[in-house]
Amino acid sequence: MTSKSILIIVLCGLQTVAFAQTADSTYTGKQKGEPFEGIDQTWQNGSDRRNHSIFQNMKYFTPSILVDVNYTHSFNNPNDNTVVGSTALARNNEIQLSALHFGGDFYYKGARARFMTQFGTRSTVVPRNDFSPYRGQYNLANVYRYLSEAYAGYHFDKMNGINVDVGLFMSYIGLNSFYQAENWEYQASFTSDNTPWLFNGVRVQIFPNKNWKIEPWLINGWQSYGKFNSMPGFGGNITYMSTNGNLKVLTNNYYGSDAAGIPARKRFHSDNSVLYRYYNKPNNKGISRMAFSLTADFGFERGGGVNGFNDKDSTKGPAQYFASAMFYNRIWFFKNKFAWTVGGGVMTNPGRYLVLYPTGQASPLPNPNNPAQTEGAFPFSANPGDKFTGWDYSTNIDWMPNQSITFRVEYVHRGSTVNYFAGPGGVTSQTGYTTTPLDPAWRPDLVKKEDRIIFAVLFRL
């Protein structure tokens, strides 16, 4: 679940890159300065839309509670109700608790910590896309499954504040926040849904003044609880916000070795966004606010049998890269109580190294913790040179009677150049149940497009 520009930070002689994250808007306010102090972020895609916490006057701890409930209907009507290729959704035609988070921020004389629990379908859907737990013992996917954030650190009263934190953090590559209450759309475009939601490592947040943030990272890897090889991941973020709050520009960049058992293969990724509020009359009963967000990503893997953007030198393997973009425009009405968003995006990913594997049967390795009898039996290929292009568009209406709750209805169309989404036959068995013995002739029913409607209730306190 939240971005980007082409700027690469060099830190300690290493090419490093960092990622902004959603906790920037949930500080306790008991330290010198705050991230982007006094600048309105409530309109931004991927940011907390609240202008205050009702708990903000508590001395040492500021609690936080989020509840995300959805119902989605796929017009493909898969017989097993399984959603394919999404980290926001898990089941069709059922009311689902997607996420329940509770926790908050601690602060005492510079010492700081934050934790947020994670329950609901996302506690399964998101960790299943991290294959680092297959290396070694102790099943890291289950160890961390019920935490979305957990870190501790120290705040230094220098410049506009410096924070040093260690633990499990949210990523901001892809612009969208992991917490749906902060996003303009529910089903993220391919750019966000196929880039990390989490990191495990160390970050340093440096605020030279209230307009800028510089944030280097040293992390285990790309959306990984553990490391795939001996090399860690390096990253960094640079964010600028205008004093009047109308403009936000950011860049995130990453370098690491994330192909399991192939240490010679290196990955670079650049994620860049601009957000602009071009109309702001918050007391208007008609149109009260208008803004857009534009995100563009590019990256590649090179070495170990693949060759980045170069598809002509066959001696080094086929091209393997990622290029994507997404654009959303949002209009608020009636003193920001209602909003209409429209947008979409496109992604191409030869080699499919960032494509979410279709659910259940399609994981590249058998998962002993998943009872699905088809797990790993019909793998979705992700070989060097395998092509994948996907596109999507969506529109939604939000009703926000107060800053703590959003009622959303959204229509989404997604398509791809290969069979990818769940068709009428589903991805589980011929009956849709894991208890049904498989017909030897049965195969997962994957199709090239899907249309769906989503109803969601998003609560935050």
The model carries a pTM of 0.89
Residue 4 maps to a domain:
no
- Give per-residue pLDDT as tens, 35-51: 788 899 999 999 999 98
Task: Say how far apart CA 344 and CA 346 lie, in whole Å.
Answer: 7
pLDDT for 15: 33
Q: What pLDDT does 257 receive?
A: 96
User: Is 3 contained in some domain?
Assistant: no
The answer to the question of residue 387 being in a domain is yes
Q: What is the pLDDT of residue 23?
A: 38
Cα–chain center distance at 159: 30
pLDDT digits (tens, 9 = 90+) for 50-61: 988 888 778 899
Per-residue confidence (pLDDT) for residue 34, from 0 to 100: 67
pLDDT of 330 reads: 98
CATH number at residue 258: 2.40.160.10
The answer to whether 301 and 353 are in contact (CB under 8 A) is yes
Q: Does residue 374 lie within any of the structural domains?
A: yes
Residue 290 lies in a domain: yes
User: Could you tell me if residue 314 is inside a domain?
Assistant: yes
Q: Give the position of tokens 């898969």.
A: 78
Sign, CA torsion 371/377/378/379: positive
Ranges of residues in the chain whose predicted pLDDT is under 70 = 1-34, 360-376
CA separation for the pair 313, 297 (Å, rounded): 24
Question: What is residue 366's predicted lDDT score, i.e. its pLDDT?
Answer: 46
27: which 2 tokens?
């500080």
What range defines the domain where residue 78 resides?
9-460
The domain total for the chain is 1
Amino acid 53: pLDDT: 85
Cα→Cα distances 322→147, 225, 286, 354, Å = 29, 22, 41, 8
Domain membership flag for residue 279: yes
Residue 421 confidence (pLDDT): 96
pLDDT, residue 369, reads: 45
> Residue 1: inside a domain, yes or no?
no
